[in-house]
Amino acid sequence: MDDNLEDLYQEIILSHNKRPRNEGILDPHDSEAEGYNPLCGDRLQVYVKLAGPTIQAVQFTGQGCAISRASASIMTEVVKGMDEHSLDAKIAEVMELLTAKEEPMIDPLELGELAALLGVRKFPARVKCATLAWHTLAAALKQSGSITTE
């Protein structure tokens, strides 16, 4: 990754942390889950509103580091309008991008702001900060309502 791109990604993270999209309790919502990352202390609640099989809205609340909040904020925008099938695929894709041992081949244009999260790959301790919101969303969709620490 070249330096200019890294600066851009850093700016995207900081911007989402400062002005998160879709932060707040979603009322009404169909399901919710809480996620906790003990490595960093990040704690998020994710709320989901469905229209049939489609994600109508996702919002989040909670406290955490800039990466965890930016990841949640970006996620709420990315998943809106997806059906369960494409959402499952998206969650799997993001997990793979963040945790695969090999540097992923990506198309930054196609990935959009999600690409900004890939910077955490260099800091293994921070990967869970970036994956927390996605694990929590997956848990919410299972209607478990349980606390996920993955």
In the list 55, 74, 129, 140, the residue contacting Zn ion (rule: CB under 5 A) is 129
Q: Decide if residue 68 touches Zn ion (CB under 5 A).
A: yes
Does position 42 bind Zn ion by CB under 5 A? yes
Q: Which helix (H) or strand (E) holds 43?
A: strand 42-51
Q: Does residue 127 bind Zn ion (CB under 5 A)?
A: no
d(CA 67, CA 49) in angstroms, rounded, equals 24
Q: Of 10 and 143, which CB lies nearer to Zn ion in the complex structure?
A: 10
Closest C-alpha among 97, 79, 58, 73 to residue 15: 73
Residue 34 interacting with Zn ion (CB under 5 A):
no
Give 36 or 47: the residue with its C-beta nearer to Zn ion. 36
Q: How many residues bind Zn ion (CB under 5 A)?
A: 5
Q: How many CB atoms lie within 10 A of CB 146?
A: 12
Q: Can residue 57 be called a binding residue for Zn ion (CB under 5 A)? A: no
Indicate whether 73 belongs to the interface with Zn ion (CB under 5 A): no
Stretch (H or E) spanning 123? none
Query: Any contact of residue 72 with Zn ion (CB under 5 A)?
Result: no
CA distances (Å), origin 45, targets 19, 59, 143:
17, 8, 13
